[in-house]
Amino acid sequence: MKKELDFIPPKSWVPGTPPLVKLMGISKYFPGVIANEAIEIDIWPGEIHALVGENGAGKSTLMNILTGLYQPDRGEIIIDGYGQVFTSPQDAIHHGIGMVHQHFKLVEAFSVADNIHLAWEQTPFFLSRKAMIKRTAQLAEKYKFPVNPTAQVKNLSAGEQQRVEILRVLSRNARVLILDEPTAVLTAQETEDLFFALRTLREQGKAVVVISHKLNEVMTLCDRVSVLRNGRKIATHLTEDCNEKMLATLMVGHEVARPVRQEITAVEIKSNNPVLSFKNVSVGGQVPLDACSFDIYAGEILGIAGVIGNGQKELSELASGMIAPCSGEVEIEGRRITQFTPDGFAAAGIGHIPEDRLHTALALELSVVDNLMVRKYRLSPIGYGIVYNPKEAFKQAQAFIKAAHVALKDSFTRIGNLSGGNQQRLIAQREIAQARKLLVAAYPNRGLDIKAIEDMQHLIRGLRDQGVAILLFSEDIDELLALSDRVGVLFHGKLMGIQPASQLSREALGLMMGGQAMSDAEHVKVSSVHTTVMEAHL
């Protein structure tokens, strides 16, 4: 039995040094939701502290309280031994606490230097661009964050944008840096770069708090880890005194079994007509697609691999009717499409779990019921012309909520109050119900906890077994090999080739993601593709 470490500081602790932050009995309630209940956590200088738990466990809410975005209903925040009341994020910033949210808050049309200095009270009213660029470069050098001060944010990769966000927080003299799911949209190299930067901040005496579902990363990066479940703190441990399996058990309340990878066999194609067909399709965008051709048939999962930012967004939006091609042909069940609209593709039986749920899939100010029924307002029995049947809408929404395993006391609560993981579960249920022919699933596991990932895998396999085609996008090689029947790779907007998953290894797929053609990677034979996506989280 591992020793409980509620009052034991990390190994970097200097005797007599108090914690930077002490959360005492923090409780927070939303309508129908117990977000936090009597939570107590210490955060010490010179440590990286992980906060883990299932979706809806209260991790983000707790950190939003610490950063002044929410105020606790009960409890106290102690900073340097003194009680503090934060009524706004500005109050928290004044006390050296800053947060980088999962969804960045940068102004994309502005430069890096503009974003660093925006709303910074130490920015003089009259400050030349040359001076802003110089100050930004000095900050980047001080904290070892390589950024181009003159670059426009919209032209930066996710990892580069994240560095700007972190640098902006540090520029406010933050002593406690909080990051919410920091590696969710990063490449493997960007993740390594981030870890190096965070370790550097730890050596400088900063405290870093990381909210994450990726337990392997927690064990690699962090000094201590606190586990939340159902809004309550279950335990705090030194990472060297625990393992991923132990943390997973603490998170869900019971032992989590590792699923065995299902061997995927080639799907018998019973129809000559593919559900969706791309013929030399090209489209503009941040990463243009170039002469993309493929077919996807009923009852198969076609996985699309690739480092983020190689055309996945454009391809998923094309396949769901959100954008139109510049050239080439798109066919649905043999019928050429000339009008590209999300409603038209939805009417054809295509569901879409988008990459960016906040801006594409949800109306955050509306209720859970409204968001779940958004595709059905004009359909019987919910809609009759201008007549709306709220009882039927509530009934159908309850079915989605139950299937998604989301615990809600009030289905009319604002969906923006839910955790990102619970939002993702509800979106998935709504779009799966829509997907009579095809589901376009762009990173469906993003932001999900261990149990929810397992549930999502089961849903996707079940949908395939019902004869639905699935176009699955993922940055996780193991996930694609575990779920897909065939796998293709996007590289700089080009589809590098499609091959049965059973004939691919992780190594071959990795080479293709780096730009090697399918034929060049084929010598790397499949010998061991039994690693599951869960091993990245357990």
State pLDDT tens for residues 198-226.
999 999 999 999 999 889 899 999 999 99
% residues pLDDT > 90 (the chain): 50
pLDDT tens figures, 33-54: 889 999 999 999 999 999 999 8
Question: Between the CA of residue 394 and those of 12, 248, 377, 427, what are the distances in Å?
Answer: 53, 34, 12, 16
- Which has more pLDDT, 60 or 437? 437
More confident call, 309 vs 246: 246
Q: Are strands 469-473 and 301-305 parallel, antiparallel or unpaired?
A: parallel
The CATH number for 183's domain is 3.40.50.300
Q: Are 61 and 70 in contact (CB under 8 A)?
A: yes
Domain count, the chain: 4
Domain end marker among 434, 449, 464: 434
- In 364-521, where do the E strands start and end? 383-384, 387-388, 438-442, 469-473, 486-491, 494-500
In angstroms, how far apart are the furthest CA atoms of the chain?
Answer: 74
Domain boundary among 404, 434, 464: 434
- Identify which of 122-136, 179-193, 318-332 has the greatest average pLDDT: 318-332
pLDDT band, residue 436 (cuts 50/70/90): very high
**Lookup: tokens for 367:** 């209720």
Per-position DSSP letters for 391-457, written without gaps between them = HHHHHHHHHHHHHTT---S-TTSBGGGS-HHHHHHHHHHHHHHH-SSEEEEESTTTT--HHHHHHHH
Cα separation, 300 vs 336, in Å, equals: 21
Using the 3D structure, point to which of 400, 434, 468 is the last residue of a domain. 434
Lowest mean pLDDT among 39-48, 123-132, 304-313, 468-477: 123-132
Q: What is the pLDDT of residue 3?
A: 44
Per-residue HEC secondary structure of 169-191 comes to HHHCCCCEEEEECCCCCCCHHHH
pLDDT band at 408 (very low <50, low <70, confident <90, very high): confident
67 and 206, same domain (yes or no): yes
pLDDT value for 374: 87
Compute the mean pLDDT over every residue in the chain, rounded to the nearest whole number. 85
Do 344 and 493 sit in the same domain of this protein?
A: yes
Amino acid in position 391: K
Residue 74 lies in a domain: yes
CA 296, CA 473: separation in Å to the nearest integer? 14
Token digits for 494? 């080009």
Same domain, 502 and 399: no
Residue whose pair of structure tokens reads 């076609």 in the numeric block: 302
Q: Which H or E element spans position 266?
A: none
Q: Is the dihedral of CA 236, 242, 245, 246 positive or negative?
A: negative
* Residue 482 phi, psi (nearest 5): -75, -30
How far, CA to CA in Å, does 127 sit from each of 113, 116, 191, 450, 533?
12, 13, 34, 48, 50
Q: How far apart are CA 452 and CA 57, in angstroms?
A: 13
Handedness of CA 511, 515, 520, 522 (dihedral sign): positive
Residue 211 resides in a domain: yes
Judge if 364 and 490 occupy the same domain: no
Q: Specify the range with the lowest mean pLDDT, choosing from 4-8, 163-167, 415-419, 516-520.
A: 4-8
Shared domain for 211 and 339, answered yes or no, is: no
pLDDT at 186 over 80: no
Q: What percent of the chain has pLDDT over 70?
A: 88
Q: Which domain holds residue 397?
A: 359-434
Q: Are residues 136 and 265 in the same domain?
A: no
Same domain, 413 and 518: no
Is 354 part of a structural domain of the chain? Answer: no
**Do 393 and 445 belong together in one domain?**
no
3-state secondary structure of 462: helix
Containing H/E element for 59? Answer: helix 59-66
pLDDT digits (tens, 9 = 90+) for 343-364: 999 999 999 999 888 788 899 8
% helix, strand, coil for the chain, step of 5 = 35, 25, 40
The candidate with the shortest Cα–Cα distance to 430, out of 357, 371, 390, 474, is 371
Do 531 and 382 belong to one domain? no
Same domain, yes or no: 184 and 230 = yes
d(CA 34, CA 12): 34
More confident residue, 187 or 62: 62
Q: What is the pTM of this model?
A: 0.69
Cβ(167)–Cβ(145) below 8 Å:
yes
Average pLDDT over residues 365-390: 86
What's the CA gap between 464 and 201, in Å, rounded? 46
Q: How many CB atoms lie within 10 A of CB 374?
A: 13
State residue 496 phi and psi, 5-degree precision: -80, -5
Residues 344, 464 within the same domain: yes
Residue 420 and residue 443 in one domain = no
